[in-house]
Amino acid sequence: MWGVGSTSCLPAFAEDTPTETATDAKTSKAGLVDRVWTKADGDLPGVMKIFLSDGTLVQDSCWETHRLSAWELTSDSALKWNEDGMDINADIVSLTDAELVLSLKLGSDAVEEKYVTATVPYVCPDMPKG
């Protein structure tokens, strides 16, 4: 049955003082979490990353199947996530309300990726079938 569970959710009030858990500390970078970041550079449209505050990274694009991975902050300016059993480490080069720049450490190379906050609404363009 939908909507029935063994626990209930209670609303949070402004005067409530939440306690920070270990998971919160690993994913509490202000401005990074719980927003949709779309890749600003590159040839293929619709590449996006969503760093959820529960430690889940959602990756998707207009041409690939979505991926769910675990992610965490490793410092105030670095994070990592796991793809296919491999940790991807990245430095946060810059982070504003409108832009995120990551420097991914891929083997001995560093690849910089620039993201912007997604515009709503967004629909993937028709991709040629080839």
Q: What confidence score (pLDDT) does residue 43 get? A: 78
- pLDDT above 60 for 65: yes
- Is 76 part of any domain? yes
> Considering the domain boundaries, does residue 13 fall inside one?
no
Task: Please provide the DSSP assignment of 17-84 as one string.
Answer: -PPPPHHHHHS--TTTSSSEEEE-SSSSTT-EEEE-TTSEEEEE-SSS--EEEEEEEEETTEEEEEET
Place of tokens 């690939």: 64
| Structural domain includes residue 50 | yes
Write the pLDDT tens digit of every residue in 88-97: 999 999 999 9
Residue 130 clears pLDDT 80, i.e. is over it: no
Residue 8 falls inside a structural domain: no
Residue 67 maps to a domain: yes
Residue 77's Cβ-count burial label (10 Å; 0-12, 13-18, 19+) is middle
Domain range for 85 is 23-117
Average pLDDT over the chain, rounded to an integer: 83
**Domains of the chain: total:** 1
